[in-house]
Amino acid sequence: MHANPQDVTISPGVHAIFMVYGLNKSEYADNAVKNLCGEFAAIVRSMRKRYPDSNPSAVFGFGAKAWDRLFPDEPRPKELETFQEIKGAKHTAVSTEGDLFFHVRAQNMDVAYELAAIISSKLDGAVYHIDEVHGFRYFDGRTIIGFVDGTENPENDDAVSFGVIGDEDEYFRGGSYAFVQKYLHDMKAWNELALIEQEKVIGRRRYTDEELGEDIKPANAHNAVTNIADENGNELKIIRANMPFANPSKGEFGTYFIGYASTFSTTKRMLENMFKGEPEGNYDRLLDFSKPVTGTLFFVPSWELLEKLAE
| Residues with catalytic roles | 149
Alpha-carbon gap, residue 95 to 109, rounded angstroms: 29
Alpha-carbon gap, residue 221 to 199, rounded angstroms: 9
